Amino acid sequence: MSTIREPVVIHKGLDNVYVKESKICYIDGEASKLFYRGYSIEELASHSTFEEASYLLIYGWLPTESQLDQFTRKLESNRAVEPRLLELLRKLPPKSDPMDVLRTAVSALGVYDPQPATDDLDARIDKALAILAKVPTIITAFQRLRTGSDPIPPTGHMTQAGEFLYMLTGHEPKPHDVHVMDVALILHAEHEMNASTFACTVTASTLADMYSVITSGIGTLRGPLHGGANEAALRTVLDVGDPSNAESYVVDALAHKKRIMGFGHRVYKTWDPRYLILKKLGEELAVKKEQTKLFDTALAIETSARRHLEGTPIFPNVDSYSGIVFHMLGIETDLFTPIFVMSRISGWTAHTIEYLEANRLIRPKALYVGKIGLPYPPIESRSGKPQE
């Protein structure tokens, strides 16, 4: 019997496949433009805070003072994690990847919640906000535990950016560092139907609870082609070590068909607007922190790569300078992707809720190209190899 073939088009990578209408995010990849709910990323980075941008993404409008106050209080009151979760973190191997720890911890939050599932969309948002608030506490607690220190509880009155920097060290963070962190969180909060947002949407479409939704997002963001690129980009800069080595690194990488991390994007066919903002922040920070060699090395890699990739649609993306910025803030490299989670939960939540407002189970198809109707062979006559 022959294989059934349907006249179908396969969209490998789901390139240019639309799964819903959305009012959350608009990207013009040809014109280097990004908008959250109609506001440009440049305006938001200049005037907003991560809390305001998150409110905007999730609820659809910029909050009034009292709405923002209520939202901020909700995050503050959810920031602490219960002792059982800290006990769990203590039991995890200190060598664990922080993204694995975060995935495990968010999943565990669902187990500790007496009522993790709800059909009510407002209650779903509240669950997501509680997770969002706890993520900085989880990341910093694990960072301290694995370096032999005790976790530092949140102050309960700082922003997402401020609490994160505070709980890492126990020292009041410098206002400029908090500002840089806050802008970085705004820039990472949302990016339309990327791989992790799609993973969250697929999970939500089954009506699974928000812990499962966000755990799916974390697992998907973890890969080096998505969230993990910021770590790889910084490692490259540290390995290259000096601006004078940049040209030979780029020539060698491209000759061996290796990808320059922090370059290229499925949607942007020119530079990523977030890259420009982070590059400027990185440059300012490098002068303040006296780490200009690191910044100059990244700049030399960028300059050389842009020269060699001229004429291609491969331009710097958000990750070309995000790692440098986080490194200069004194953050361990393997915490960069967890920081991405600390911000992107806002976008994941916004899309999940928007999808659930008119839910349809996501269930695509695979075109079967194997054989059918084969006779079942007895064990002694099997070849033990794939069928021809």
Tallying the residues shown for the chain, one arrives at 388
CB of 314 to ligand CMC, least distance (A): 5
Q: Which is nearer to ligand CMC, 258 or 371 (CB)?
A: 258
CA distances, 185 to each of 36, 71, 160, 274, 339 (Å): 13, 17, 9, 11, 8
CA distances, 9 to each of 2, 14, 364 (Å): 20, 11, 12
**Residue whose C-beta lies closest to ligand CMC:** 264
Pairing of strands 39-40, 33-36: antiparallel
Q: Which is nearer to ligand CMC, 127 or 222 (CB)?
A: 222
Beta-bridge partners for 35: 26, 40
CB of 6 to ligand CMC, least distance (A): 26
Q: How many CA atoms lie within 13 A of 179 on its CB side?
A: 11
Beta-bridge partners for 177: none
- Contact yes or no for 201/89 (Cβ under 8 A): no
Q: Which is nearer to ligand CMC, 140 or 230 (CB)?
A: 230
CB of 28 to ligand CMC, least distance (A): 16
Please tell me which residue in 272, 319, 327, 351 is annotated as part of the active site.
319
Of 60, 88, 94, 54, the C-alpha closest to 74 is 54
The residues binding ligand CMC (CB under 6 A) are: 194, 225-227, 229, 259-266, 314, 317-319
**Burial class of 82 by CB neighbour count within 10 A (0 to 12, 13 to 18, 19+):** exposed
Q: Which is nearer to ligand CMC, 244 or 312 (CB)?
A: 312
Q: Which is nearer to ligand CMC, 34 or 44 (CB)?
A: 34
**What six digits make up the tokens of 134?**
């706890």
179 is known as an active-site residue: no
Question: How far is residue 337's CA from residue 162's CA, in Å, rounded to a whole number?
Answer: 18
CB of 324 to ligand CMC, least distance (A): 14
CB of 81 to ligand CMC, least distance (A): 27
Please tell me which residue in 177, 188, 191, 265 is annotated as part of the active site.
265
Beta-bridge partners for 316: 263
Question: How far is residue 287's CA from residue 264's CA, in Å, rounded to a whole number?
Answer: 28
User: What is the edge-to-edge ordering of all strands in the sheet holding 39-40?
Assistant: 25-28, 33-36, 39-40
CB of 64 to ligand CMC, least distance (A): 32
- How far is it between the farthest Cα atoms of the chain? 75
Q: Which is nearer to ligand CMC, 14 or 31 (CB)?
A: 14
265 is known as an active-site residue: yes
Residue 317 main-chain phi, psi, to 5 deg:
-115, 180
Alpha helices (H) in 256-291, listed in sequence order? 273-289
**What six digits make up the tokens of 211?**
């812990």
Q: Which is nearer to ligand CMC, 152 or 238 (CB)?
A: 238
**What six digits make up the tokens of 262?**
């922090």
CB of 351 to ligand CMC, least distance (A): 15
What letter does residue 147 receive in the DSSP assignment? T
Beta-bridge partners for 25: 36
Active site residues: 265, 319
